Amino acid sequence: MPISSSPSRISIIIASTRRPLELGRWIDHLERQTLKPIEMIWAVASDSDLPDPKHIRSGTTPLTIVRCPQGLTVQRNCGLEARSFQDDFVVFFDDDYVPSTSCLQDIVDSFDALPDVVGLTGTLLADGIGGPGIGYEDAMALIADHEASPPEPEGRRLLKPSDGLYGCNMAFRSSAIGDLRFDERLPLYSWQEDVDFAYRVAKGGKIGYTTGFFGVHQGVKYGRTGGRQFGYSQIINPVYLYRKGTMRFSKCIRLVLKNLLANHVRSLKPEAWVDRHGRVAGNWIGILDLVRGGIDPERVLDL
């Protein structure tokens, strides 16, 4: 069955804080898309998060800007509530994600090819989150090189089932989301909120990673949660989600131990782009809270 090119099928939500440059690039990203979305929603904490108004007005995609308290879960929920049109699919992109030119069309095609799937994360050509980050020009070059290579044979929209998705590029059927919202007890950077939300959406069907669409996650370092706060969330958030029932015990333990070990080992010779000592301090505050019986992700706001 041919795929509709109607712009009314897909909405984009981007929660952004202190990254006006990256956010503004989404005007250009959508101008290059082979399938236009019905709307793009920016959820920001203040006007200082926004790019130059002239650049905003240069785009042709309907844009809604909502202002709400800072915090990824809160901002994404504001985006969901702000949708103005009836859509079939909702996509959450990070502001520093760079999509291929056919990304939106490929998302729709992937869902059409996988009718029992309700949530998808695409293939990353590169992810700068674990390193110093990927420059915008380098990200665009990776996209161009990939698009210049021979296309994948039809039917290669493979699915790797998962119990969570990666928040920098998560696409869902709107019907599966319904009244579900992100857990606002996971504040600030809201680490693992993507896993929690996708797990709950998946109660109505399958979710997973697909080869059907792709992009690059720059992993920009500014505008992120401080090391001490993030280190605390690395301990408390997985335990909270395990207790909540949206994360397996094995994954919870693996995440906690992996980050605890990595922070302590790398604190001996820390990377320039990571506050390892702050993360170690946050880890131990989290461990002490667990020993005392405290499992409150919102305590990170007091650190």
Tens digits of per-residue pLDDT, 168-223?
999 999 999 999 999 999 999 999 999 999 999 998 789 999 999 999 999 998 87
Please give the pLDDT value at position 155. Answer: 54
Instruction: Assess whether pLDDT exceeds 50 at residue 4.
Output: no
Tell me if 222 is assigned to some domain. Answer: no
Among 217, 251, 274, which residue terminates a domain? 217
Residues 35, 122: one domain? Answer: yes
Tell me if 104 is assigned to some domain. Answer: yes
Tell me if 177 is assigned to some domain. Answer: yes
Q: Which amino acid is at 59?
A: G
The whole domain housing 16 covers 7-217
Tell me if 290 is assigned to some domain. Answer: yes
Residues 256, 191: one domain? Answer: no
Tell me if 142 is assigned to some domain. Answer: yes
DSSP letter string over 55-112? HHHT--S-EEEEE--SSHHHHHHHHHHT--S--SEEEEE-TTEEE-TTHHHHHHHHHH
- pLDDT bin (cut points 50, 70, 90) of residue 2 is very low
Tell me if 1 is assigned to some domain. Answer: no
Query: For 239, what's the count of Cα atoms within 13 Å in the CB-facing half-sphere?
Result: 18
- pLDDT bin (cut points 50, 70, 90) of residue 10 is very high
Instruction: Assess whether pLDDT exceeds 60 at residue 8.
Output: no
Instruction: Assess whether pLDDT exceeds 60 at residue 6.
Output: no
Q: Which amino acid is at 128?
A: G
Instruction: Assess whether pLDDT exceeds 70 at residue 5.
Output: no
Residues 22, 162: one domain? Answer: yes
| Residue among 239, 154, 150, 261 at smallest CA distance from 191 | 239
Work out the percent of the chain whose per-residue pLDDT is above 90: 85
Span 28-54, pLDDT tens digits: 999 999 999 999 999 999 999 999 999
Please give the pLDDT value at position 149. Answer: 84
Average pLDDT over residues 253-273: 95
Tell me if 293 is assigned to some domain. Answer: yes
Residues 125, 235: one domain? Answer: no
Cα(200)–Cα(125) distance, integer angstroms: 27
Split into its structural domains, the chain has a count of 2
Residues 188, 235: one domain? Answer: no
Tokens matching residue 6: 């109607």
Cα(134)–Cα(218) distance, integer angstroms: 5
Residues 232, 210: one domain? Answer: no
Average pLDDT over residues 281-288: 97
Question: For residues 61 and 36, is the Cβ–Cβ distance under 8 A?
Answer: yes
CATH number of the domain enclosing 74: 3.90.550.10
Mapped onto helix, strand or coil, the DSSP state of residue 206 is: strand
Residues 202, 248: one domain? Answer: no
Please give the pLDDT value at position 156. Answer: 63
What are the φ and ψ backbone dihedral angles of 222, each rounded to 5 degrees?
Answer: -80, 155
Among 172, 189, 217, which residue terminates a domain? 217
Residues 191, 164: one domain? Answer: yes
Residues 154, 294: one domain? Answer: no
Span 138-177, pLDDT tens digits: 999 999 999 998 776 665 677 899 989 999 999 999 999 9
Among 217, 250, 281, which residue terminates a domain? 217
Cα(93)–Cα(16) distance, integer angstroms: 10
Choose between 57 and 224: higher pLDDT.
Answer: 57
Cα(196)–Cα(238) distance, integer angstroms: 10
Please give the pLDDT value at position 88. Answer: 95
Instruction: Assess whether pLDDT exceeds 50 at residue 105.
Output: yes
Please give the pLDDT value at position 125. Answer: 97
Average pLDDT, rounded, for the chain = 93
Tell me if 2 is assigned to some domain. Answer: no
Residues 236, 132: one domain? Answer: no
Residues 210, 240: one domain? Answer: no
Residues 140, 235: one domain? Answer: no
Please give the pLDDT value at position 153. Answer: 63
Choose between 154 and 227: higher pLDDT.
Answer: 227
Cα(97)–Cα(245) distance, integer angstroms: 29
List the beta strands (DSSP E) in the chain.
10-16, 39-44, 63-67, 89-93, 97-99, 117-127, 159-161, 169-173, 206-217
